[in-house]
Structure 1
Amino acid sequence: MRRMILLAATMLAGAAQAQVPTIPKPAAITADGIPALPESLRAATQPYLESRTAGVLGWNPKTRGLLIATRFGNAAQLHEVARPGGARTQISFEAEPVVRAAYAPRSGDTLLVSKDIGGGEFFQLFTLANGRLTMLTDGKSRNDGGTWSPDGKLVAYTSTRRDGTASDIYVIDPRDAKTDRMVLQVKENGWNVEDIAPGNAKALVSRGVSIEQSELFELDLASGKLTRLTPEGAKVAWGSAQYGTDGTIYVTTDLDSDVQRLGKLGRDGKFTALTPPGKWDVEGFDIADDGSFIAYVVNENGASKLRLLDVKSGRIREPKLPAGVIGGIEIAPWGDIAFSLDSARSPADAWVVDPKTLAATRWTFSETGGLDATKNREPELVTVKSFDGESVSGLLYRPDPAKFPGKRPLIFNIHGGPEGQTRPTFKGATNYLLDELGIAVFYPNVRGSTGYGKRFVGLDNGPFKREDSVKDIGAFLDVLEKDPALDKSRFAQTGGSYGGYMCYANAIRYPQRFKAALCVVAISNFVTFLENTQSYRRDLRRVEYGDERIPEQRAKLLEISPLTRIGEIKVPLFIVTGGNDPRVPASEAEQVVKAVRGNGGTVWHMLAADEGHGFRKKVNTDYNFWATLTFWQTYLLK
């Protein structure tokens, strides 16, 4: 009888457990080794998953409204805002995200759109009218850019349609697809159209060799003649080149400087700086249509400063803005300066500055799921000396000590690139970790990160310096493990792309110092990565990581690849990847899953068939977040 009662109790418990509601898995996701996710997670996290942003794309010269990208459904779409605080009027209605678009200058009669499918980054150019897209390109190749001429009659762009790799330069009147023609056939990838000159006779084009080296040329759009403007082979970066109204070329460069400065480039190659010397990069600018002023942005230790330069007098003024990170700066034909402003306590929203009065007006007020974002914790800057004496820094977000007393668990979150930079922006769903679970989050900017000068960004180049950035994590661990508010027995890590490589590498180098690792779209073998990444970007990656075709470098790349030492990973892994990823193919994840499981290790694997290098569709990002929480609760918090 006792045995029957126990058996009945066990069956009832199993039935009760089976009846626990679970979150349905999105159709495009394969969740391999991931447990069912309880429906209770949805209710607990819902407010944190409902924040929005407003990314400024430009002005509508006809209506004087702002064109922005924002998301109300599953994917971000184009909207217009007519006035400060006005409603967002949706104008694109696609299943895939639409986040690149620009109206024809002056007339505003044509809206040019760039969009891919499933995150594959094979962008096509379209026009958008009456809610419908009309394709201008071939639907197969990668088409990038879409630079309007000042009069709005011509668009220049690059395309790989000829051979799948080289980024040839084309021009088109988007009102008539038959006007499409190639202007310049090139041998390499990395070419880009920067700007078209007044009169439409010439264009500024660039060729990127690496993050540290690029070249500028002037292209005759009728003959295809290319004239070099910058020294050949010089290890100098040139960026954001634009024509002034009189044909003067303005550009940012680190020529004779460790940081990017704004200045004028003569056709004789002489550069004249217009901004004062300093320790921070000028990271972007725009020129007023009348040529009277330039609005530019300086990256000061991750935070943005907007400045206005009077072209004639050289006077520099600075409007008063909330602390944050600025993006998408666009000057209207009538002079107003629009941009997105993002901070720890506010998601990216559209702002406009009056260049005469410097008055700043917020145009959009993005929702934050009903949560009071002004209560979000600001990060603190952590600076340490690494193994070789190099200073490296990062941003540490701590939970409220009043709500979460005692030592707190910590997650390292490592950016990709490697030429990226973690900045004090709105962290969205990550705030749930801080506010509801009491987990601290640290965002390191290891060597190779941008924002700290060209010397720093080059410290990790090539296979023989690559692991120096992994050693930087050790320096951070040495300091943070001594922090009295952190629990060194409960440290974990995550990272995406190159940060995903770091995620694997750290699990190997520091096996006793991390409890778990969540590695997203991660490089696992540098040789297979270089061989399988899309051909249009392969040469640029070889400059950064090394050339697998050279025996000495290939041997070193294999030596430092996580897959080579995969047997040394003992912590549980959660691997996330996109089926259409053109940068780090899904095969990079698959070979790790197979190897770790072959060694008896624990791996959760999530693959989204309709995503690329990172998830962009809300249904997928939400499910991934709930799985991530379950992973941390299982392997970090217990």
Structure 2
Amino acid sequence: MRLSILATVATLALVGPAVAAVTPPDTIRADGVPELSDALQADVANYTEFNGASFVGFDPKSNGILISRRAGNVTHLHRVTAPLAKPEQLTKGDDPVSGAAYAPSRGDVILYAQDKGGAEFWQLYRLDPKSAAATLVTDGKSRNQTQHWNNDGTRVAYASTRRNGKDNDIWVMDPRDPSTDKIALQVDGGGEGWTVTGWSPDGKKLLVNESISINESYVWLVDIAAGTKTAITPRNGIKGANDLAQFDPSGEGIWYASDVGAESKRLVRYDVKTGNRDVVTPDLRWDVEELAMPTRGDVAAYFVNEAGRSVLHLIDLKTRKERPAPKLPEGQIGTARISDDGSKLGLGITSAKSPGDVFVVDLKNGNAVRWTTAETGNMKLDRLREPELVKLKSFDGLEISGFYYRPDPKAFPGKRPVIIDIHGGPEGQSRPKFLGRAGYLVAELGVGIFYPNVRGSEGYGKTFLELDDGMKREDSVKDIGAVIDWLKADGATDGARIGVQGGSYGGYMTLAVMTHYSDRLRAAIDVVGISNFVTFLTNTSPYRQDLRRVEYGDERDPAMREFLQKISPLTNVAKITKPMLVVQGANDPRVPKTEADQMVQALRTLGTPTWYVVGLDEGHGFKKKKNADYQFLSGMQFWKQHLLAPSS
């Protein structure tokens, strides 16, 4: 899973005297954060109670579907029996559920993943759909992920670090009888380095993806009985990103996305008998980001990321020609799957005005039916407009872009303050989305939010993606300098009131931007950010180290170590002269808490005003509502004090 965590903090306009203080949850440690008032909490309540739905899968034994939505504090699985029917909660617990699916054909079992405290050591559980009784089927200690059922629902394949705690071997079992668990393929490599993407129709082979970096990945065909693998996309000196591999229903073709020979990921069909490859979408200018293949039927679906917006395509597997696709609400499409009989496509869509709804498309007539109703409470959706796509030139003439959510000029005339919100990844992408809590900024306070896509962001071709690698790391920081220039020149933006925030790699970018442009910014919020590349690469979880070294550089090489130390925000912390809020999960396996601790200590030693919020039961970003709400409140109070005051 890519590091794609964005800061979820916002701001508050000047309010009257506090009448009572908000007590932080017992799962939060707030250090240096001033008292937050009940009045503040009440004022933003309309922007904390939203709830959307994500598509998970079809029920093979009924016309119902499985969705994911928040139940109380975290997301859980729910069953929906008919369009717009009330969701029925199936799973429970204090931690969110992910990666779920019914056993195909049989429908007697649902398999899902759940970790504890955000540590990302996911365990697999077998759920009885009738009784909602859950049973642990993995060892309770290892990291287990990317589970896939075979076509007849008798076995599941998944990646696990069980053997040695580091390498992501491929395992197969019947979850009805966990004693059947066995290694199908032993590998070297951890993190998301090896993942299962599909089964052959006869259940004898697996498709497995090996990821070296976002720019280099390979598809392998694994013989389960023999424990051997055959390259579908061999290492032949030509690097490329190859993923999403799936068998078609005939078993004669393997379909996958690849940017070999092109700037963007195109749809490719590999002929199992002849070994020939045909590019099915040769003229595609944008990345194929998702592929939904049927186990029966002759229509597949794929989604293209067109400048951040998802576009649905349907394709006839026999003729390899496009079929008419239904018109869906504009937005970003999440998980999509085709029903066992090949007649329906289920998918979820988020947009600027919806936190997520599920649609089911009839693949025969193209009709799309909405199955869920998102909850947006009393948000002022009329003030939340579609973002403006901004294109601008950076310091070296390279074109970069971003999405600008501007306040309604009728409600908020004059020049308005703005926050630059930088995505994670580092190979992530800012895309049009539902703002959620941050909608309070735009709709109630008249604060703009600019989401940039600097060099190194995905979605704009593989050359653009590689422009921040290795020694070119700080060129992306300079891109933010160009964004600041553009905002200061924009007639509707108050160039004297600009803040910056970001999460994960965006947290590093936030800290780095503050070391370069502190004199041009008011304040910043860093969420689970890297403060020192050397200590980060040394201390991140062992299963992630190799993948991160490919992206950032290998700190064991003396020359690279010297460079990484030189550009690290901690090395340049004295240049940060404006107030900071730092947010961190205590159990973060990706960016360890030590990265935040050392930055906070250094800032305070220098006398820089620094607030520190730690989620004691959180990992890489706050997933639990009560914690996210407190983060939101503290962020608003921070912006109130340090950004929203009028320009001097």
- If the TM-score is normalised by the length of the shorter chain, which range does it land in? over 0.9
Corresponding position of 2:7: none
Aligned to 1:265, which of 262, 267, 270? 270
| Offset at residue 370 of structure 1 (A) | 2.9
| TM-score (normalised: structure 2) | 0.94
In structure 2, C-alpha distance between the alignment counterparts of 1:578 and 1:386, rounded to whole Å: 34
In structure 1, C-alpha distance between the alignment counterparts of 2:242 and 2:580, rounded to whole Å: 40
Is 1:62 aligned to residue 61 of structure 2? yes
In structure 1, C-alpha distance between the alignment counterparts of 2:36 and 2:278, rounded to whole Å: 59
Deviations 1:26-46 (CA, angstroms, capped at 9, x unpaired): 001100000110000121111
Aligned to 1:352, which of 352, 357, 360? 360
State the secondary structure of the residue aligned to 1:564.
Answer: coil
State the secondary structure of the residue aligned to 1:481.
Answer: helix
Structure 1 stretch 364-373 or stretch 292-301: which is displaced more?
364-373
Structure with greater Cα Rg = 1
Structure 1 stretch 346-355 or stretch 602-611: which is displaced more?
346-355
Matching of residues 264-283 of structure 1 within 5 Å: 264-267=269-272, 270-283=276-289
Is 1:242 aligned to residue 246 of structure 2? yes
In structure 1, C-alpha distance between the alignment counterparts of 2:98 and 2:523, rounded to whole Å: 34
Q: Structure 2: which 5+ residue stretches go unaligned?
A: 1-15
Corresponding position of 2:543: 536
| Offset at residue 271 of structure 1 (A) | 2.3
In structure 1, C-alpha distance between the alignment counterparts of 2:116 and 2:238, rounded to whole Å: 37
* Total equivalences in the alignment: 621
Which residue identity is paired with 2:289?
E
Corresponding position of 2:82: 83
In structure 2, C-alpha distance between the alignment counterparts of 1:374 and 1:273, rounded to whole Å: 44
Corresponding position of 2:452: 444
| Offset at residue 606 of structure 1 (A) | 0.3
Corresponding position of 1:411: 419
State the secondary structure of the residue aligned to 1:203.
Answer: strand
In structure 1, C-alpha distance between the alignment counterparts of 2:246 and 2:423, rounded to whole Å: 30
Is 1:178 aligned to residue 183 of structure 2? no
Deviations 1:47-79 (CA, angstroms, capped at 9, x unpaired): 111111101111111122111110130111100
| Offset at residue 327 of structure 1 (A) | 1.0
| Offset at residue 375 of structure 1 (A) | 4.6
In structure 2, C-alpha distance between the alignment counterparts of 1:131 and 1:237, rounded to whole Å: 40
In structure 2, C-alpha distance between the alignment counterparts of 1:270 and 1:322, rounded to whole Å: 37
In structure 2, C-alpha distance between the alignment counterparts of 1:314 and 1:344, rounded to whole Å: 33
In structure 2, C-alpha distance between the alignment counterparts of 1:286 and 1:419, rounded to whole Å: 23
State the secondary structure of the residue aligned to 1:467.
Answer: helix
Q: Structure 1: which 5+ residue stretches go unaligned?
A: 1-15
Aligned to 1:309, which of 286, 311, 315? 315
| Offset at residue 298 of structure 1 (A) | 0.7
Work out whether residues 508 and 531 of structure 2, in 8 Å CA contact, stay in contact via their aligned partners in 1: yes
Deviations 1:160-193 (CA, angstroms, capped at 9, x unpaired): 1111111111100000011001122112221111
Work out whether residues 519 and 577 of structure 2, in 8 Å CA contact, stay in contact via their aligned partners in 1: no
Is 1:387 aligned to residue 388 of structure 2? no
In structure 1, C-alpha distance between the alignment counterparts of 2:297 and 2:539, rounded to whole Å: 46
Is 1:295 aligned to residue 301 of structure 2? yes
Corresponding position of 1:490: 497
Corresponding position of 1:128: 127
Is 1:156 aligned to residue 162 of structure 2? no
In structure 2, C-alpha distance between the alignment counterparts of 1:33 and 1:184, rounded to whole Å: 50
Corresponding position of 2:11: none
In structure 1, C-alpha distance between the alignment counterparts of 2:378 and 2:150, rounded to whole Å: 43
Work out whether residues 93 and 131 of structure 1, in 8 Å CA contact, stay in contact via their aligned partners in 2: no
State the secondary structure of the residue aligned to 1:404.
Answer: coil
Deviations 1:483-514 (CA, angstroms, capped at 9, x unpaired): 11111110001000110011011111112111
Is 1:212 aligned to residue 218 of structure 2? no
In structure 2, C-alpha distance between the alignment counterparts of 1:329 and 1:372, rounded to whole Å: 30
Work out whether residues 351 and 363 of structure 1, in 8 Å CA contact, stay in contact via their aligned partners in 2: yes
Matching of residues 412-491 of structure 1 within 5 Å: 412-462=420-470, 464-491=471-498
Which residue identity is paired with 1:254?
D
In structure 1, C-alpha distance between the alignment counterparts of 2:133 and 2:462, rounded to whole Å: 44
Which residue identity is paired with 1:92?
T
Corresponding position of 1:6: none
| TM-score (normalised: structure 1) | 0.96
State the secondary structure of the residue aligned to 2:634.
Answer: helix
| Offset at residue 313 of structure 1 (A) | 2.4
| Offset at residue 372 of structure 1 (A) | 5.2
Corresponding position of 1:12: none
State the secondary structure of the residue aligned to 2:305.
Answer: strand
Is 1:44 aligned to residue 43 of structure 2? yes
In structure 1, C-alpha distance between the alignment counterparts of 2:495 and 2:98, rounded to whole Å: 41
Which residue identity is paired with 1:543?
V
Corresponding position of 2:613: 606
Corresponding position of 2:139: 138
| Offset at residue 312 of structure 1 (A) | 2.0
Aligned to 1:253, which of 244, 254, 258? 258
In structure 2, C-alpha distance between the alignment counterparts of 1:374 and 1:632, rounded to whole Å: 24
In structure 2, C-alpha distance between the alignment counterparts of 1:475 and 1:359, rounded to whole Å: 45
| Offset at residue 256 of structure 1 (A) | 0.8
Corresponding position of 2:516: 509
Which residue identity is paired with 2:160?
S
Is 1:166 aligned to residue 167 of structure 2? yes
In structure 1, C-alpha distance between the alignment counterparts of 2:296 and 2:126, rounded to whole Å: 28
State the secondary structure of the residue aligned to 1:512.
Answer: helix
Structure 1 stretch 78-87 or stretch 365-374: which is displaced more?
365-374
Work out whether residues 517 and 573 of structure 1, in 8 Å CA contact, stay in contact via their aligned partners in 2: yes
In structure 2, C-alpha distance between the alignment counterparts of 1:471 and 1:465, rounded to whole Å: 11
Is 1:365 aligned to residue 364 of structure 2? no
In structure 1, C-alpha distance between the alignment counterparts of 2:132 and 2:382, rounded to whole Å: 36
In structure 2, C-alpha distance between the alignment counterparts of 1:312 and 1:598, rounded to whole Å: 67
Work out whether residues 46 and 377 of structure 2, in 8 Å CA contact, stay in contact via their aligned partners in 1: yes
Work out whether residues 383 and 443 of structure 2, in 8 Å CA contact, stay in contact via their aligned partners in 1: no
Is 1:201 aligned to residue 204 of structure 2? yes
State the secondary structure of the residue aligned to 1:474.
Answer: helix
Work out whether residues 247 and 255 of structure 2, in 8 Å CA contact, stay in contact via their aligned partners in 1: yes
State the secondary structure of the residue aligned to 2:507.
Answer: helix
| Offset at residue 234 of structure 1 (A) | 3.3
Is 1:336 aligned to residue 337 of structure 2? no
Aligned-pair identity in percent equals 48
Work out whether residues 380 and 443 of structure 2, in 8 Å CA contact, stay in contact via their aligned partners in 1: no
Deviations 1:340-376 (CA, angstroms, capped at 9, x unpaired): 1111012211011111221111111111013353552
Work out whether residues 99 and 147 of structure 2, in 8 Å CA contact, stay in contact via their aligned partners in 1: no
RCO higher in structure (CA 8 A, sep ≥6): 2
Is 1:226 aligned to residue 252 of structure 2? no
Which residue identity is paired with 1:74?
N
Deviations 1:377-423 (CA, angstroms, capped at 9, x unpaired): 11001111111211100000111111111110010000000111111
Which residue identity is paired with 1:494?
Q
Which residue identity is paired with 2:539?
N
Work out whether residues 201 and 295 of structure 2, in 8 Å CA contact, stay in contact via their aligned partners in 1: no
In structure 2, C-alpha distance between the alignment counterparts of 1:102 and 1:407, rounded to whole Å: 49
Which residue identity is paired with 1:146?
Q
State the secondary structure of the residue aligned to 1:563.
Answer: coil
Work out whether residues 469 and 552 of structure 2, in 8 Å CA contact, stay in contact via their aligned partners in 1: yes
Which residue identity is paired with 1:583?
R
Is 1:192 aligned to residue 168 of structure 2? no
Work out whether residues 230 and 269 of structure 1, in 8 Å CA contact, stay in contact via their aligned partners in 2: no
Work out whether residues 570 and 599 of structure 2, in 8 Å CA contact, stay in contact via their aligned partners in 1: yes
Which residue identity is paired with 2:200?
A
In structure 1, C-alpha distance between the alignment counterparts of 2:516 and 2:146, rounded to whole Å: 41
In structure 2, C-alpha distance between the alignment counterparts of 1:72 and 1:134, rounded to whole Å: 20
